[in-house]
A and B are shown apart, each in its own frame.
Chain A
């Protein structure tokens, strides 16, 4: 499964959109881009996933570039409760979630 690269940390002001980038330049055609987040001392929470098209659900939007080498997770109106580590994972045929270091998003009041 392809490796992903994310910034170590980001800040976002409460009420503003949080845009979290992820690079997956070696992703293969059958690998999905998955996003999970982990709030301190809790289990990872599924956010969203996509293959080629942009996706939106009640939590977030996922924008995948046309060449699929990178993606952005968008939290449209960040709240303090969105402070967490966000993991971007390329999930392929092995079905093994290989977690990288993730991005620590700190939402500031």
Chain B
């Protein structure tokens, strides 16, 4: 089945130690999104790629970066994780970014910062 895959499901890192979360998709979708969801809160958009074009949300901290080496993969890099960055990180894809098009989510990676 075509799907959005996130690995690992759980990631533990140390305060200040760079960490990378990965997302892959077999849907061949052009658009990929990264959301952050803190405990008991709703998901919040960090940034997205339309093909190779990167689009950052205005309030996304500089500590968060992303890479998309090809259509299938997208990475979220946290350069210096703080305790406040502990959250579930969700990847989503969308076929072409057309108005009102459905986004499909992966299972998420839960990040713990020690």
Q: Which residues of A contact B (CB under 8 A)?
A: 30-32, 34, 36, 41-46, 49, 51, 87, 91-93, 95-102
Contact = CB atoms under 8 A, between A and B. Distances in A.
B42 A96 contact: no
Contacts of B100: 30-32, 49, 51, 91-92, 95
Interface residues of B, number: 24
A95 B94 contact: yes
Nearest to A98: B45
Given A41-B110, A42-B107, A99 B43 contact: yes
B99 A46 contact: no
B90 interface: yes
Contacts of B102: 34, 46, 49
B44 interface: yes
A71 to B, nearest CB: 15
